[in-house]
Amino acid sequence: MNSIDQAIIITLGSVAAAHGKPYCFPSQAHILTLLDKYHGIKLSLRSLNRHLLTLQLDRFFERTRRHRKGKDGKIIFNTTLYKLKKKFFTFAAFMKFQAAKFFSVFRVPKTAQYSGTTSQRFEQRHSGSPSKDEKDPLEGAPKGRLSGNQVSTNLERLRGLLKSIGQSS
């Protein structure tokens, strides 16, 4: 699967999620607009249809053409209905897991949630013990910073993930 297919899947999923439904029916022009706006991908209508057909055959979603009869008896075509399938939700869960692993490198240490500036906390720790009335805001706080070795390990995992995504297209 290439990056354009992934962008189309993410776009359809976002439209469906915005309405809280496992289906959506955006127009192809709207899909092209969203791809350009949020992913920087410009496609022709024909190319979009090729990618949609590939994704449909891969069973990420099912497409149903919607139409109705007009007052004059002519057929009026509405937008296509995209019903998201199990493979789509599996892919979305995988992407969420990979994103969580990636952003765990940039997490804020637990000690950042405590009051006081960094210099105040440093002074409290290094100026001796606090008085009886004054409680150390860092007491009992987890010491959850990543070591340099853990950061480099996470960066290597990220490089491997990006390489595998690039090779799968």
Interatomic CA distance for residues 87 and 59, integer angstroms: 7
What pTM did the predictor assign?
Answer: 0.58
pLDDT band at 118 (very low <50, low <70, confident <90, very high): low
Say whether pLDDT at 53 is over 80.
yes
pLDDT at 134: 53
Average pLDDT over all residues of the chain = 79
Query: Under 8 Å CB-to-CB from 99, ≥6 apart: which residues?
Result: none
Query: Under 8 Å CB-to-CB from 29, ≥6 apart: which residues?
Result: 45
Nearest to 52 by CA among 39, 41, 61, 64: 61
Mean pLDDT confidence for 142-156: 62
pLDDT at 50: 96
Nearest to 84 by CA among 100, 110, 49, 60: 60
Q: Output the six-digit token pair for 77.
A: 């075509």
pLDDT > 70 fraction of the chain, expressed in percent and rounded: 67
Interatomic CA distance for residues 30 and 35, integer angstroms: 9
pLDDT at 141: 42
Domains of the chain by residue range: 1-106, 108-128+135-169
* pLDDT (tens digit per residue) in 121-144: 556 555 555 555 555 444 544 455
pLDDT at 168: 54
For the structural domain made of 1-106, what CATH number should be given?
1.10.10.10
